[in-house]
Amino acid sequence: MTIETRAPGVLDSLASSGRRRRLPRINPFAWLIFILGVLYFFLPLVGTFIHSTRTRPDIFLAYRQVFADSKFFVGLGYSFAVGVITIVVSLLIIVPTAYWVRLKVPRLRPVVEFVTLMPFVIPPVVLVFGLIRVYSSKPLVLTATNIGSDFVLVCAYVILSFPYMYRAVDTGLAAIDVRTLTEAAQSLGAGWARILWRVIFPNLRTALLSGAFLTMAIVIGEYTIANFLARTQAFGPYLSLLGRSQPYTPAAVSLISFGLTWLAMGAIAFLGRGARTRVQVAGAR
Amino acid sequence: MSFLELTGVQKHFGPTVAVEDFNLAAERGEFVSFLGPSGCGKTTTLRMIAGFEVPTAGAIVLDGTDITHRPPNRRNVGMVFQSYALFPNMTVGDNVGFGLKVRKRPGDQIRKRVGELLELVHLGDKMARYPYQLSGGQQQRVALARALAFEPQVLLLDEPLSALDAKIRVSLRHEIRAIQRQLGITTVYVTHDQEEALSLSDRVVVMSEGRIEQIGSPFDVYNFPATGFVASFVGTLNVLPAVVVDPGGGGLSVAGQAFRINRPISARTGSTISLALRPEMVSLGEAGGENVLRGTVADVSFLGSIVRIRIQVAEGVVVTVDEFNEPTLVLPQLEASASISFPTEGPLVLESVPVIEPDDLIAEA
Ligand SMILES: Nc1ncnc2c1ncn2[C@@H]1O[C@H](COP(=O)(O)OP(=O)(O)OP(=O)(O)O)[C@@H](O)[C@H]1O
Ligand SMILES: [Mg+2]
């Protein structure tokens, strides 16, 4: 097949040029693993792309259709907005919690870590049924209105983001001397809000970005919860609906959304970087 | 009334007693060091002054105000940490200005003050750098400037030099002292390095196992140690077990060799007491005083400006002698026989070392 004959060729040239320039001797086994990894990640993308161009004679027909479909932009925009809100809420919960646990009650770290792992233990279907049962009956009826359902959706996603966000933040906190920096700020007269906002948050930049990135990826691709909450305009349900009715467009949509998500996150990373380039270097030390 | 007063301060961590009954009165502008071995409670005491720990009992009064239970950000106390603890996300200028910004001073005033302080620590040109672009010594100077910028009432330093290498350690400690004198700021300095404590301080607090052993000027602590612990911890010390021969006349003997001290001894004839003898009090040869002991050379070590020689006087009794290194000095050979001499005012009788009475020896036998 085309895929197999072309992809290794590209990689070989990549590998050999790299070798020539600055990796004089490297374990061939390491290269094998690297190449397998690259294949594992890129073959599905290449396959999807090839599939999306099977529309003959106009091979870009699927892409043209996608861009002509307003539901695509609505879906992506909705999911992106939900993703951003989820990230903000998740950060506001996780950063102070992880900080406080590290600073004051390190004994409780395993407990908190376990709690944040719950989304891996409870399947999304169970989670969403639980939420619907609780919030569609009195005293708190939320699922009856659109805004209420959006609210429940964000809450569910915040829970889904916990394992990724907590680990990212906790790793970031481990890389700085949280306790001494806190005490230094305190002795200079700073209160808790200022310490969190001026000292802790800025030094977690890299960690926060990776947590945010993972959360966004989850939200954009999530299907089950959005579907059960009747948020059919969300990107996941939209994609699934499309897949049932059309053969080639879903592949095109996946690739476009993939590209757009990366672009958006890259933009966030880049914008965040502009203000404080040097923090990154300090953090990486 | 003193400027900074700690009265009956105690700190327990569960069953651990970190500090017990700490009493100190420091005058305005005084430089006080806490000196003691690891785990003796120096840091804990400092942290109570800073407000990071709350005393289990006792009171801390600063300039007439009881600050025992005041949170650290509402005390006016500057702190310098062993690990510098500069904010990595801020420039040197922003680090130094942090305390002023917290206090909502106007921007131009902050800039002026930051400039002054960076000049003071000789880093005027490093304002826009980030901490990771500075050496350890420079980072610690920034930390010092940061702790001083908001004009704290007290400056606290917890082993600020121990992460630096020897050369910088010495030059920076002189710099700290010079700045402290210039600003006249009351300072508490924690260290386990006796040389640092002795060379910097107006007064030294020698601590052991959570207790104060002695508070005094470096001169007093070194020359008139109040307890055996102080004598052995501050400076190198020879401890001689000696048998009392003539209590009234100060007559003693070690392994059958008689010598004398210039004071009466408050112990019975035939009992064994411990004597402390500083290496610099002892001379090689017989010209250093009227007491002479004979033995063999056990060790010779060359330490640069001085040569440290160890003479075995009896089984298990080794006396260390420091000689200045001069070109004319003839180093003794190992195993050679040698004699040492010291004046009658040289040896100190150690109080807290248990004195063995002859009756006890009989009872044991
Ligand atoms: N947070 C704490 N919890 C329990 N015990 C503590 C705590 N902080 C200090 N200790 C104990 O209190 C005692 C004094 O500790 P401290 O840190 O004051 O010693 P130090 O004199 O500063 O020693 P070092 O020279 O090693 O820094 C030690 O036995 C220590 O184990
Ligand atoms: Mg300490």
Q: Do B81 and A180 touch (CB under 8 A)?
A: yes
Give the pLDDT of residue A71.
Answer: 84
pTM: 0.77
Q: Do B102 and A279 touch (CB under 8 A)?
A: no
Q: Do B50 and A187 touch (CB under 8 A)?
A: yes
Give the pLDDT of residue B223.
Answer: 84
Determine how β-strand B4-13 pairs with β-strand B57-62. antiparallel
Q: Which of residues 136-155 of B touch A (CB under 8 A)?
A: 143, 146-147, 150
Give the pLDDT of residue A20.
Answer: 46
Tell me how far apart the alpha carbons of residues A229 and B33 are, in angstroms, rounded to a whole number.
67
Tell me how far apart the alpha carbons of residues B306 and B298 are, in angstroms, rounded to a whole number.
17
List chain A residues with pLDDT less than 50.
Answer: 1-20, 274-285
CA angle B75, B80, B86 (to 5 degrees): 105
User: Are the C-beta atoms of residues A275 and A253 closer than 8 Å to each other?
Assistant: no
Which residues are CB-contacts of A77 (< 8 A; sequence separation ≥ 6)?
none
Give the pLDDT of residue B362.
Answer: 42
Tell me how far apart the alpha carbons of residues B268 and B251 are, in angstroms, rounded to a whole number.
11
pLDDT one digit per residue (tens) for chain B, 365 residues = 799 999 999 999 999 999 999 999 999 999 999 999 999 999 999 999 999 999 999 999 999 999 999 999 999 999 999 999 999 999 999 999 999 999 999 999 999 999 999 999 999 999 999 999 999 999 999 999 999 999 999 999 999 999 898 888 889 999 999 999 999 999 999 999 888 999 999 999 999 999 999 999 999 998 888 887 888 888 777 888 888 998 888 899 988 899 999 888 888 888 888 888 888 888 888 888 889 999 999 888 887 788 888 899 888 888 888 888 888 877 888 888 989 999 998 888 875 444 444 444 444 43
Sequence spans of domains, chain A: 70-270
Q: ipTM of this predicted complex? A: 0.78
> Which CATH architecture group holds A70-270?
Orthogonal Bundle (1.10)
Q: Do B87 and A185 touch (CB under 8 A)?
A: yes
Shortest Cα–Cα distance, A198 to chain B (Å): 9
Residue B51 CB less than 6 A away from ligand 1: no
Q: Which residue's alpha carbon is nearest to atom 14 within ligand 1?
A: B41
Give the pLDDT of residue A169.
Answer: 93
**pLDDT tens digit sequence for B159-205:** 999 989 888 888 999 999 999 999 999 999 999 988 899 999 999 99
User: Are the C-beta atoms of residues B341 and B287 closer than 8 Å to each other?
Assistant: yes
Using the mean position of ligand 1's atoms as its centre, give its distance from the Cα of residue B17 in Å. Answer: 9
Q: Which of residues 83-142 of B touch A (CB under 8 A)?
A: 83, 85-89, 98-99, 102-103, 130-132
Give the pLDDT of residue A2.
Answer: 34
Q: What is the 3-state secondary structure (H, E, C) of chain B?
A: CCCEEEEEEEEEECCEEEEEEEEEEECCCCEEEEECCCCCCHHHHHHHHHCCCCCCEEEEEECCEECCCCCHHHCCEEEECCCCCCCCCCCHHHHHHHHHHHCCCCHHHHHHHHHHHHHHCCCHHHCCCCHHHCCHHHHHHHHHHHHHHCCCCEEEEECCCCCCCHHHHHHHHHHHHHHHHHHCCEEEEEECCHHHHHHHCCEEEEEECCEEEEEECHHHHHHCCCCHHHHHHCCCCEEEEEEEEECCCCEEEECCEEEECCCCCCCCCCCEEEEEECHHHCEECCCCCCEEEEEEEEEEEECCCEEEEEEEEECCEEEEEEEECCCCCCCCCCCCEEEEEECCCCCEECCCCCCECHHHHHHHC
Give the pLDDT of residue B351.
Answer: 57
For a ligand 1 pocket test, name from B33, B43, B45, B156 the mutation site with the most ligand atoms within 8 angstroms of its C-beta: B43
Q: Which residue's alpha carbon is nearest to atom 20 within ligand 1?
A: B39
Determine how β-strand B31-35 pairs with β-strand B203-208. parallel
Q: Do B72 and A186 touch (CB under 8 A)?
A: yes
**What burial letters (b/e) apply to A144-172, b meaning 16+ CB within 10 Å?**
eeeebbbbbbbebbbbbbbbbbbbbbbeb
User: Are the C-beta atoms of residues B181 and B25 closer than 8 Å to each other?
Assistant: no
Q: Which structure tokens are listed for B321?
A: 């002698």
Nearest Cα residue in chain B from A283: B88
Give the pLDDT of residue A213.
Answer: 85
Beginning with the edge strand found earlier in the chain, give each strand of the sheet holding B238-246 in spatial order.
B257-260, B251-254, B238-246, B272-277, B348-349
Using the mean position of ligand 2's atoms as its centre, give its distance from the Cα of residue B83 in Å. Answer: 12
Give the pLDDT of residue A111.
Answer: 94
Q: How far is CA B116 from CA B93, B122, B146, in A?
A: 11, 10, 11
Tell me how far apart the alpha carbons of residues B82 and B162 are, in angstroms, rounded to a whole number.
7
Tell me how far apart the alpha carbons of residues A208 and A92 are, in angstroms, rounded to a whole number.
11
